[in-house]
């Protein structure tokens, strides 16, 4: 999601920035002398105590990349290398019901959108179906394609004249959720609620390639209204049911719907995890509610939730204004967190406690109830990527919390993996995803890292003065506070995690950060850059982002320590000291977000959600052939930026992976205007790649001044307004993609 600057810097904990730790370790004064040195990228001799990562020759790539890297593109189309083509599989608003009219692309629909493809296609996963209708790990030519629909940042396109609030239509165009205070129309809001969530659609491979089966009984929409179980560890879930109670469900055992579904995970037993990311913006508070306990207020602040009604002179607020439609109709009243009733059973003060989870969905059982997996923590979940399953060992799920200065987590199952559970569906999910341990990552300056268990047994959590934990259940419910308490490392906005099938190493994109958090004096080894965007489009901080990777000690998912380095630094090719990965005009990129390894080719597919180099090229997808943790060297980063007219500089040591060069890092796809590229999976064998194009035309100025008209401009659906879509990429010669 591009959520332009609406992610919340709500981490006010005093966890150390590792600059301080490193300064101590490296002896301040002499280090300062090193800082003044010339080159941005200087190989350092190994320092005492820093010998865990050694410089080595890059390991040989598993495959060569078999296509020519793309030049930058500003075309309003999906651009691919020669020899490749794409088709659109489905786009926002496509009908999943023969009884519904084809999408008008004018906002004319008056149905509630619950039988249409949602908006803002994000993560994607494929589930093959065998002839008996069961889950299959091999290509049967028939599958369910599951797509997350992230947000309604540009919900204007689904209404005739754009979003309406306070009687004004289209006024707040391009401003994410800046709602003019006042009532919104019911039809607009119900369409917006239902275009969130997840689409499950049947796809079949025919002579024309992969197409959607519009009339399949397996087609399903999960929306922000679909009931879901609140599931968690047997010993602790009861302790927090009271915090989930709402007027709609007074036992605190059910939640309604899922929101802002961003990254995802696929479980080895054949289900889908959809991650609830920046869900806080959907809630507001009206005036007139009772005062809330200080602890509840502290929780709301930490999660970026509304904690007060708008001030008397305020005219706008960040929200969708969904609650304004009705105070009595629960479909709308639930978005108001004010304590308006006599108790929590009479209002929706607790509604936000039912969001912020990984939600398990069983695509092959359309009647199954999704489960919110409380044990995996409550965050701005970006992805939930499973370790390589090994029989008889626990599984780990790697998770980012996508806001600036948030953390990287993992959940380790109590149950050990039994391959017989493959295909077992959501019942098996209860076995693996309710009981286990939740950890947060600390990246140390010596290239090592620690997984710190989030448990009430830890005195730092039990005695945390900033937030009083009553029980282990609250550690799951208020995960961010618990992570603050144990000194986790604040990262540059963790997005997707991916696991290298060759060696089990875990890669996590860190999309970017701003000067509010990163200055030359506020960096650490794992987030080492603070500089100014080379041509000034995006300001200062870490405007281009990076990708960190780590290898668990002993190669086991349950390890409590790991070794890390930085796989790639995003940069413009002319960014000087900031271009630490030696990127060229042919493979420069900025703001990495989506990340996935092809099990067929081993290619690491990397996708961008950028605003820093979009003056030169639209967002893109690149193919990388990585080596392994430790294949590069220790380097000294030269940081320089101007903040409030004052130049600041400094250096920071870190560990960077081997330079890939154009041979091992190539631009494969560039999207249309104003989009981000997010979500990629393949048909087994790698001869078809499914990729999502999210929010083309996001920076449109009005419905008559559109930034993009894709995909209508390329013959898909009715021309005019831009639409998010899933595309299928194939090679003209039928070969394996990218190889
Ligand atoms: Fe929804 Fe973090 O991108
Ligand atoms: Ca994302
Ligand atoms: Ca530039
Ligand atoms: Ca720039």
Q: What sign for the dihedral angle of Cα 566, 607, 8, 465?
A: negative
Residue 609 CA, closest ligand 1 atom number:
3
Residue 687 lies in a domain: yes
**Angstrom distance (rounded) from CA 481 to CA 302:** 7
- CB of 577 closer than 6 A to ligand 1? no
Q: What is the pLDDT of residue 314?
A: 83
- CB of 277 closer than 6 A to ligand 1? yes
Cβ contact 505:385 at 8 Å: no
Q: Is the pLDDT of residue 368 over 50?
A: yes
- CB of 610 closer than 6 A to ligand 1? no
pLDDT greater at residue 396 or residue 51: 396
Smallest CA-to-CA distance from 383 within 281, 507, 567 is with 507
Q: Which residues contact 512 (CB under 8 A, 6 or more apart)?
A: 492, 493, 538, 541, 542, 543, 544, 545, 570, 590, 591, 612
Q: What is the pLDDT of residue 63?
A: 66
Residue 493 CA, closest ligand 1 atom number:
2
Q: What is the pLDDT of residue 45?
A: 30
Residue 629 lies in a domain: yes
**Angstrom distance (rounded) from CA 653 to CA 215:** 57
Ligand found nearest the CA of 1: 1
Residue 678 CA, closest ligand 1 atom number:
3
Q: Is the pLDDT of residue 538 over 80?
A: yes
- CB of 677 closer than 6 A to ligand 1? no
Residue 212 lies in a domain: yes
pLDDT greater at residue 17 or residue 377: 377
- CB of 670 closer than 6 A to ligand 1? no
C-alpha distance from residue 106 to each of 158, 723, 726 (Å): 7, 11, 20
pLDDT tens-place string over residues 673-695: 999 999 999 998 999 999 999 99
Residue 342 lies in a domain: yes
Q: What is the mean pLDDT of the chain?
A: 90
C-alpha distance from residue 446 to each of 16, 70, 280, 553, 616 (Å): 15, 37, 36, 15, 37
- pLDDT band of residue 634 (cuts 50, 70, 90) is very high
**Among protein residues, the one whose CA lies closest to atom 1 of ligand 1:** 1
pLDDT tens-place string over residues 304-333: 999 999 888 887 777 788 999 999 999 999
Q: How many CB atoms lie within 10 A of CB 198?
A: 25
Burial of 616 from C-beta contacts in 10 A (0-12 / 13-18 / 19+) = middle
- CB of 676 closer than 6 A to ligand 1? no
**Among protein residues, the one whose CA lies closest to atom 3 of ligand 1:** 1
pLDDT tens-place string over residues 45-80: 322 222 222 223 333 334 699 999 999 999 999 999
- pLDDT band of residue 42 (cuts 50, 70, 90) is very low
Whole-model pTM above 0.85?
yes
Burial of 564 from C-beta contacts in 10 A (0-12 / 13-18 / 19+) = buried
Q: Which residues contact 58 (CB under 8 A, 6 or more apart)?
A: 627, 631, 632, 658, 659, 660
Q: What is the pLDDT of residue 179?
A: 63
Q: What is the number of domains present in the chain?
A: 1
**Angstrom distance (rounded) from CA 1 to CA 284:** 21
Q: How far is the CA of 554 from the centre of ligand 1 (A)?
A: 31
Q: How far is the CA of 495 from the centre of ligand 2 (A)?
A: 6
Residue 739 lies in a domain: no
Can you give the residue range of the structural domain that contains 124?
34-731
Q: How far is the CA of 648 from the centre of ligand 4 (A)?
A: 20
Residue 143 lies in a domain: yes
**Angstrom distance (rounded) from CA 93 to CA 300:** 34
pLDDT tens-place string over residues 418-456: 999 999 999 999 999 999 999 999 999 999 999 999 999
- pLDDT band of residue 153 (cuts 50, 70, 90) is low
* DSSP codes joined into one string, 415-435: EEP-GGGTT-THHHHHHHHSS
- CB of 382 closer than 6 A to ligand 1? yes
How many residues are recorded in the chain? 739
Cβ contact 489:377 at 8 Å: no
C-alpha distance from residue 146 to each of 90, 199, 271, 552, 653 (Å): 12, 6, 10, 30, 42
- CB of 1 closer than 6 A to ligand 1? yes
Residue 8 lies in a domain: no
**Angstrom distance (rounded) from CA 716 to CA 105:** 11
- CB of 573 closer than 6 A to ligand 1? no
Q: Average pLDDT of 648-657?
A: 98
Q: What sign for the dihedral angle of Cα 415, 418, 422, 424?
A: negative
Give the DSSP letter of residue 299: H
Q: Is the peptide bond before 711 cis (omega within 30 degrees of 0)?
A: yes
Residue 26 lies in a domain: no
Q: 């591009």: which residue's tokens? A: 2
Residue 400 CA, closest ligand 1 atom number:
2
Q: What is the pLDDT of residue 175?
A: 52
- CB of 379 closer than 6 A to ligand 1? no
């Amino acid at each position: 999601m591009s959520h332009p600057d609406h992610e919340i810097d709500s981490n006010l904990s005093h966890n150390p920035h590792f600059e301080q730790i490193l300064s101590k370790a490296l002896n301040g004064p002499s280090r300062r002398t090193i800082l003044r040195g010339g080159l941005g990228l200087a190989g350092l001799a190994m320092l005492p105590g820093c010998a865990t990562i050694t410089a080595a020759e890059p390991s040989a790539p598993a495959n060569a990349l078999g296509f020519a890297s793309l030049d930058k593109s500003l075309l309003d189309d999906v651009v691919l290398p020669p020899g490749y083509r794409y088709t659109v599989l489905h786009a926002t608003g496509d009908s999943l019901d023969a009884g519904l009219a084809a999408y008008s692309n004018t906002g004319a629909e008056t149905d509630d959108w619950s039988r249409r493809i949602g908006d803002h296609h994000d993560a994607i996963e494929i589930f093959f179906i065998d002839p008996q209708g069961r889950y299959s790990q091999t290509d049967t030519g028939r599958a369910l394609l599951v797509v997350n629909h992230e947000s309604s940042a540009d919900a204007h396109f689904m209404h005739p004249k754009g979003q309406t609030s306070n009687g004004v239509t289209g006024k707040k165009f391009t401003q994410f959720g800046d709602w003019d205070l006042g009532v919104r129309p019911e039809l607009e809001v119900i369409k917006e609620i239902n275009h969130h969530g997840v689409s499950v659609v049947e796809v079949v491979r025919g002579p024309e390639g992969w197409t959607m089966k519009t009339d399949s009984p397996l087609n399903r929409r999960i929306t922000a209204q679909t009931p879901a179980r609140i599931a968690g560890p047997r010993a602790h879930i009861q302790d927090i049911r009271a915090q989930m109670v709402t007027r709609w469900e007074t036992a605190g055992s059910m939640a309604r719907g899922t929101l802002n579904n961003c990254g995802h995970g696929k479980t080895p037993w054949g289900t889908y995890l959809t991650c609830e990311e920046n869900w806080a913006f959907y809630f507001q508070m009206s005036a007139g509610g009772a005062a809330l306990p200080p602890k509840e207020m502290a929780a709301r602040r930490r999660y970026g939730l509304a904690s007060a009604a708008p001030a008397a002179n305020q005219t706008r607020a960040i929200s969708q204004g969904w609650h304004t439609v009705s105070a009595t109709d629960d479909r709308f009243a639930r978005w108001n967190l004010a304590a308006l009733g006599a108790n929590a059973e009479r209002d929706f003060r607790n509604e936000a406690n039912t969001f912020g989870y990984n939600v398990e969905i069983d695509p092959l059982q359309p009647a199954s109830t999704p489960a919110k997996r409380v044990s995996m923590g409550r965050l701005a979940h970006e992805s939930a990527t499973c370790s390589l399953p090994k029989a008889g060992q626990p599984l780990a799920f790697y998770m980012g919390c996508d806001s600036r200065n948030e953390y990287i987590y993992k959940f380790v199952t109590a149950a050990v993996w039994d391959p017989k559970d493959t295909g077992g569906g959501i019942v098996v999910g209860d076995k693996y995803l309710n009981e286990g341990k939740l950890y947060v990552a600390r990246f140390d300056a010596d290239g090592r890292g620690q997984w710190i268990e989030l448990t009430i047994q830890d005195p730092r959590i039990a005695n945390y003065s900033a937030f009083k934990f009553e029980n282990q259940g609250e550690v799951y419910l208020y995960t961010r506070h618990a992570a603050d308490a144990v000194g986790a490392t604040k990262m540059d906005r963790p997005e997707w995690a991916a696991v290298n099938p060759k060696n089990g190493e875990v890669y996590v994109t860190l999309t970017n950060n701003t000067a509010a958090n990163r200055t030359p004096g506020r960096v650490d080894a794992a987030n080492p850059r603070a500089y100014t965007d080379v041509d000034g489009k995006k300001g200062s901080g870490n405007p281009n982002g990076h990708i960190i990777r780590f290898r668990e000690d002993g190669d086991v998912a349950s390890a409590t320590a790991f070794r890390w380095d930085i796989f790639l630094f995003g940069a413009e090719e002319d960014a000087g000291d900031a271009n630490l990965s030696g990127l060229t005009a042919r493979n420069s990129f900025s703001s990495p977000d989506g990340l996935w390894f092809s099990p067929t080719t081993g290619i690491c597919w990397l996708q961008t959600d950028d605003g820093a180099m979009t003056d030169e090229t639209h967002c893109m997808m690149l193919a990388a052939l990585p080596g392994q943790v430790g294949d590069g060297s220790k380097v000294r980063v030269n940081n320089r930026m101007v903040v409030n007219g004052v130049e600041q500089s400094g250096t920071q040591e870190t560990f960077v992976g081997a330079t890939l060069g154009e041979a091992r890092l190539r631009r494969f796809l560039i999207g249309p205007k104003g989009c981000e590229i997010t979500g990629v999976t393949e048909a087994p064998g790698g001869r078809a790649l499914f990729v999502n194009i999210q929010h083309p035309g996001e920076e449109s100025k009005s419905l008559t001044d559109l930034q993009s008209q894709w995909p209508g401009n390329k013959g898909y659906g009715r021309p005019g307004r831009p639409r998010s879509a899933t595309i299928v990429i194939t090679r003209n010669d039928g070969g394996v993609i990218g190889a």
